[in-house]
Amino acid sequence: MKATTLYEQLGGQRAIEEIVDNFYNRVLADDTVNKFFAHTDMKKQRHHQAAFISYALGSPEHYTGRSMEKAHTGLNLQPEHFNAIVQHLDEALTAHGLSSKDVHAVLDRVATLEQAILYK
């Protein structure tokens, strides 16, 4: 039986959690964006991010976290911050062995969130 959602194609929850761990290792090593996480409970953040990405990619579980606007209010994120995050996600997805086509599919979905995240 062929996987029908990106969530399933990527390998489900376990794969998403591995990608999120890789992603945050990259983010926290980057001085362009790591300051935004200086006072963040990263265990909780990783859990929320995995839940959000899973939902966005077709997981059967519903996402119950804050909206993108609310989650980023007061951060005044700029394009260079968004682009750094996208680059780290690209690298984490690629490191997990995703095809270029699947990486682009994920990043295309992330790109739709840009206006909800920037300048808040």
CATH of the domain at 96: 1.10.490.10
What is the spatial distance between Cα 73 and Cα 58, in angstroms, rounded to a whole number? Answer: 26
Please give the share of the chain, as a percent, with pLDDT higher than 90.
79
Q: How many domains does the chain have?
A: 1
pLDDT digits (tens, 9 = 90+) for 41-100: 999 999 999 999 998 889 998 888 899 999 999 999 999 999 999 999 999 999 999 999
Q: Is a pLDDT exceeding 90 seen at residue 120?
A: yes
The reported pLDDT for the residue numbered 94 is 96
Please indicate, yes or no, if residue 29 is contained in any of the structural domains.
yes
Query: Mean pLDDT over residues 6-31, rounded?
Result: 95
Please give the share of the chain, as a percent, with pLDDT higher than 70.
98
Please indicate, yes or no, if residue 28 is contained in any of the structural domains.
yes
Please indicate, yes or no, if residue 3 is contained in any of the structural domains.
no
Domain membership of residue 31 as a residue range: 11-117
Please indicate, yes or no, if residue 1 is contained in any of the structural domains.
no
Are 109 and 56 within 8 A, CB to CB?
yes
